[in-house]
A and B are shown apart, each in its own frame.
Chain A
Amino acid sequence: MSLSAKDKANVKAIWGKILPKSDAIGEQAFSRMLVVYPQTKTYFAHWGDLSPGSPQVKKHGTTIMNKIDECVNNMDNLFGFLSGLSDLHATKLRVDPANFKILAHNLLVAVAAFLPNDFTPEVHLSVDKFLGQVALGLAEKYR
């Protein structure tokens, strides 16, 4: 399910609208994941406070969004761009790749809540495909 020119255009366009609210959307996506899919908290047990609004949750939401922003700017070489991050997730973090889909879902929910009129089905399709490619790129080095 590779990205067409239309998909890339849709992702860039919606990302332009996401950027001004990036920190808030990132925090929402990440904290929704921790609340709605509590098994994901197992990867962050060392943080202590995992409640929505906690400083670490906010910071990590921002970290994730900044990285996805870079992915938007590197859509033509996503796997190459994500190589180092894939190594990190594969060898050090060892996050089960099924969780990438879970985070993606919560990011879509957050975007829908913040940008209901812009997040049309056509845009949703393109972003879903893009996040799927990001997940594949992250899982590339796993085995």
Chain B
Amino acid sequence: MKRQNVRTLSLIICTFTYLLVGAAVFDALESDNEMREEEKLKAEEIRLKGKYNITNEDYRQLELVIMQSEPHRAGVQWKFAGSFYFAITVITTIGYGHAAPGTDAGKAFCMFYAVLGIPLTLVMFQSLGERMNTFVKYLLKRIKKCCGMRSTEVSMENMVTVGFFSCMGTLCIGAAAFSQYEEWSFFHAYYYCFITLTTIGFGDYVALQTKGALQKKPLYVAFSFMYILVGLTVIGAFLNLVVLRFLTMNSEDERRDAEERASLAGNRNSMIIHIQEDSQHGRPRYKAEVTDLQSVCSCMCYRSHEYTSRVVSHQNSFSSKLNPQYFHSISYKIEEISPSTLKNSLFPSPVSSISPGLHSFTDNHRLMKRRKSI
């Protein structure tokens, strides 16, 4: 089976297994606690109902009122500061839900806003993240030079380590700040930062929801917004470094397959073109030459000796052909070639066989580079 298909199937199976395992573990961790909580709360409910003699009907109304009042209790959610906070949670896909559009018009606008905003934000964070990675790589190289280290190359491991510690640092800074301002424990604040910066955004912990912070503490509000955006950039940079290459793997394999198919077809074409126009040499000899050169290009690394001798003989035959008339025929051929075939048939056979050879060599080299470097 094609490599891409195998890869996709394995990923699907992995994810399903991961979900099953996760579900089992969460069940084990939370179920008991849930049962106990529920019993306690239900008992409390009955007690309070009896204490205040509230009818079932009225209690249901009370429930509704209380649940609907929850966002209002947390503050004014839709003035500019609150709306900005909401807009952030939409386009970054965090989506706490601490405030959600109540009007239908708000819901509709929210959807349109998300359709444009989410791709914009994705691209922006990846772009900025890549810039940050490049800058960090440059800094690290300078530091290595200054420290007088022997190899000043910045390896992938270096970058991943730096990225990982930046993420940890960002989470810890946020945890310290929010545990101070929101009066959460450090662990809960850390959990909040983690859930926010991974854009999961449960909404069980939400900043700026106590003591009317959105309206009364502009500095804290500004800090929260900056923290969320900068934190997402740091996480985005780490993802750009580690994960992004895997997102494009299938497409690159497809492209490489297509190019291989095209170059194979192109070589066949170029051989035909050459054979047709030049009847001086026998066909087998030319085919052999072309194949030789191709193999030369692709095996340049480990056939240099044979290559050298072959190349000399080829050079002889080739240069004898390069006279003005031949040249004009080439130009003429070039005129009518469309861009898609240009790469493979632009130059007559030995040369064109080099270009795909060189090209796939560069391509392979580039791909190798891609896998190894940042």
Report whether chain A binds chain B. no
Q: Which residues of B approach A to under 8 Å, CB–CB?
A: none
Q: Which residues of A approach B to under 8 Å, CB–CB?
A: none
